[in-house]
Amino acid sequence: MKQVVFKMKLKHGFEAEYRKRHEEIWPELVTLLKQSGIKNYSIFFDKETDTLIAVQYIDASIIANLQENPVMIKWWEHMADLMETNPDKSPVVVDLENVFSMP
């Protein structure tokens, strides 16, 4: 199991709508993520900076190309008005380096 941590940027003032859309997350998206090897996925919000911190645990034996999946593309389009995005509507993601872990 591999831990992946990254940050994304929420546009200011959209926290409530972001939460609402995730409370109503599409079942087909959850199924896709699980089938793609994501075993655990949490997103945290830093109100001071409008930064989202995502933590995923991924089964490294499963290789998936989510960025080409129609469900993922549709979700990105659904969320694009709330977040900083790339030209393809995927969120701008910055990987975070683990500098300490307590055993």
Catalytic residues: 22
Listing DSSP states for 59-81 in one string gives: -TT----GGG-HHHHHHHHHHTT
| Best CA proximity match to 19, nearest among 49, 52, 56, 48 | 52
Where does residue 79 rank: exposed (0-12), middle (13-18), buried (19+ CB within 10 A)? buried
| Best CA proximity match to 36, nearest among 4, 6, 7 | 4
Contact 50, 7 (CB under 8 A): no
